[in-house]
Chain A
Amino acid sequence: MVLRGRAAIVGIAEYPHQRRYTGPRKFTLSQWAELTRMALDDAGLRASDINGIVCSDIRESGMFTPATVVEYLGQPVNFAERIDLGGATAVGMIWRAAAAIELGICDVVVCALPSLPIPSNPTPQPFNPAVWYQSSSPNWGSPQAEFDIPYGNLAQNCGYATIAQRYAAQYGYDPRAMAKLVADQRASGALNPNAAFFGAPVTPDDVLASKIIADPLRMLEIVMPVAGGGAVVLASAEVASRCKHRPVFVKGFGEHLTIKTPTYAADMCQTPVGPASRQAFGMAGLTPADMDVAEIYDCYTITVLLTLEDAGFCPKGAGMAFIRDHDLTCHGDRPVNTHGGQLGMGQAGAAGGMTQVVEAARQIMGRADARQVRDCHNAYVSGTGGVMSEQSALVLQGG
């Protein structure tokens, strides 16, 4: 696979992430327009430069989403995608945009994942119990509806918990190492004004004292839902040379999907991010050791542990020791989730994965302020959707 690595992230935008949103409510389409304007301004581009968009679901329309977004923005495009990869959506957006730019289909592509509350509908809507099912579909004929949900195996917590239990049986488990991972990330998040946990670090003891939700996962090892969202604009190298900031080139990418429900994974502890990351590093001609930062999708601590192993930052089964042996904070020897991760930012739905992309770009652009990693040129980013069922990886490099 050949990628010339000539498409770059040139602008970023991010809403402050808040547990209780204090700003005005806005429709998703309005947030799309606002984030697009912010990202274009950041890059030094104009609205009329846009000729591609990549979106995901919007609250106002269940279908024809790309056309609805394009019409609202008022910008005709040559390339439009809608991505349905849960937490891997952001990374999935970036590589598709980069591939389209490299093919010459377009040269300025906006990828946005807005997730602020929308205005309350003046016509009261009946309660929809679908919210309880989260990532599991209750529709008739859905395998989840028939073979998982009736047993109580639904949503995300129990799936990740069973993966962690299986890991413990195969490789051993150190709750204190997992607690340290949270504490390291929250230390970085405490320095991030966009994070829900800005100014609020925790200790490993705090994590171990938080209640167990589903064995072995404790509350502080699980993301907190927040309002937020973010966007990036990608451009060709030619356009990037006219933009304000150091371009962040997409040098490698990968994506791998295997299952929906972890019950059916061939091996719960060998996750799809492995093949995705090998492809990404192979394309870039770089290795995990070359990465100055790793922005790893972190819905749960176990997600980070398995990604560190399967992406090759450490051998299989050595993840707990890796976490114990390294300082993973933004000022440590092995910076992981320098923005706090989603454990520090809070998780704004499927927009959560965009925080990892935005932070990687911010670090390479040299704009991470108190969290800036010195001489940051290469970044690894991962995205995880469902329950380790669909995963994507990026290798980014400063121009």
Chain B
Amino acid sequence: MTKPLPQPTPVTQPFWDGLLEQEIRIQHCRDCGAWVFYPRSHCRRCLSDQLDWRVVSGAATLYSFTITRQPTAPFFADEVPQRLAVVELAEGVRMTSTLVGIADADIHIGMALRPVFDPVSADITMLRFTAATPATAAAVSHTEDRMT
């Protein structure tokens, strides 16, 4: 079953282009200084349209997560248990993602994370996260294998 992939739009294309180059580009408001994610045409704080793209490190912490015992949709049956994450970047914006390469018992809210670039097609690289410190990155996932 084909998984639903992101379909970039003219507004969001720079974000996905960045991931293809293993770079995380987040919008920053020239008028009020807010970081903006997901990408928008207007700032989510002041509605300015003066948004710049800035490259950030991807250093993050785990805001919350769940481990699913049933697929959230039939497309994801092969990923169960899905390790669904809500991740907070150092810049303060949050994103939906998945955790890779961490033993379930080691997953805890507040843990430091680093980005994992996961090319899923020629045009799309997904942004996943793993433990920032190797000590907790117990298992090496197939996702990381693909990166090397």
Contact = CB atoms under 8 A, between A and B. Distances in A.
B38 A143 contact: yes
Contacts of A140: 7, 9
Q: Is the interface of A mostly helix, strand, loop or mixed?
A: helix
Contacts of B98: 151-152
Contacts of A214: 66-70, 72, 84
B66 to A, nearest CB: 4
B80 to A, nearest CB: 9
Interface stretch (A58-66, A155-163, A306-314): A155-163
A163 B76 contact: no
B6 A165 contact: no
| Residue among A143, A151, A155 facing the most chain B CB atoms (10 A cut-off) | A151
A262 interface: yes
Contact of B95 (A141, A161, A262, A263): A263
Interface residues of B, number: 36
Interface residues of A, number: 36
Interface in B80-114: 82, 84, 86, 94-98, 108-110
Given A154-B72, A213-B69, A162 B7 contact: no
Given A152-B84, A153-B84, A263-B94, A163 B64 contact: yes
B109 A158 contact: no
Interface string B42-76: 00000000000000000000011111111111111
A25 to B, nearest CB: 26
Given A152-B79, A263-B86, A147 B6 contact: yes
Contacts of B4: 138, 145, 149-150
Contacts of B73: 132-133, 152, 154-155
Contacts of B33: none
Given A143-B38, A211-B69, A148 B96 contact: yes
A264 B69 CA distance: 24
A146 B8 contact: yes
B3 interface: yes
Contact of B68 (A141, A143, A158, A268): A158
A157 B70 CA distance: 10
Contacts of B63: 166, 268
A206 interface: no
A161 B9 contact: no
A147 B97 CA distance: 8
A321 interface: no
Nearest to B98: A151
A212 interface: yes
Contact of A158 (B7, B8, B66, B79): B66
| Residue among A158, A166, A212 facing the most chain B CB atoms (10 A cut-off) | A158
Nearest to A147: B38
Contacts of A2: none
Contacts of A143: 38
Contact of B64 (A132, A151, A169, A213): A169
A33 B126 CA distance: 49
Nearest to A268: B64
A148 B94 CA distance: 12
Interface in A320-366: none
Nearest to A134: B73
Contact of A169 (B6, B71, B109): B109
Contacts of A71: none
A146 B5 CA distance: 7
| Residue among B6, B66, B69 facing the most chain A CB atoms (10 A cut-off) | B66
B141 interface: no
Contacts of B109: 165-166, 169
A152 B82 contact: yes
| Residue among A132, A149, A152 facing the most chain B CB atoms (10 A cut-off) | A152
Interface string A265-280: 0001000000000000
B133 interface: no
A261 interface: yes
A88 B64 CA distance: 25
A150 B70 contact: no
B68 A165 contact: no
B5 A155 contact: no
Contacts of B5: 150
Given A145-B4, A146-B38, A214-B69, 7 more contacts: A147-B38, A150-B4, A152-B73, A212-B69, A213-B70, A215-B66, A264-B94
30 contacts: A132-B74, A133-B73, A138-B4, A143-B38, A145-B6, A146-B7, A146-B9, A147-B38, A151-B84, A151-B97, A152-B75, A152-B76, A152-B84, A153-B84, A154-B72, A154-B73, A155-B73, A157-B72, A158-B82, A162-B65, A162-B84, A165-B65, A169-B64, A169-B110, A213-B68, A213-B69, A214-B68, A214-B72, A262-B86, A263-B96
Interface of B: 3-9, 12, 38, 63-76, 79, 82, 84, 86, 94-98, 108-110, 126
The list of the 4 closest CB pairs from A to B, nearest first, reads A161-B66, A169-B109, A166-B64, A162-B64
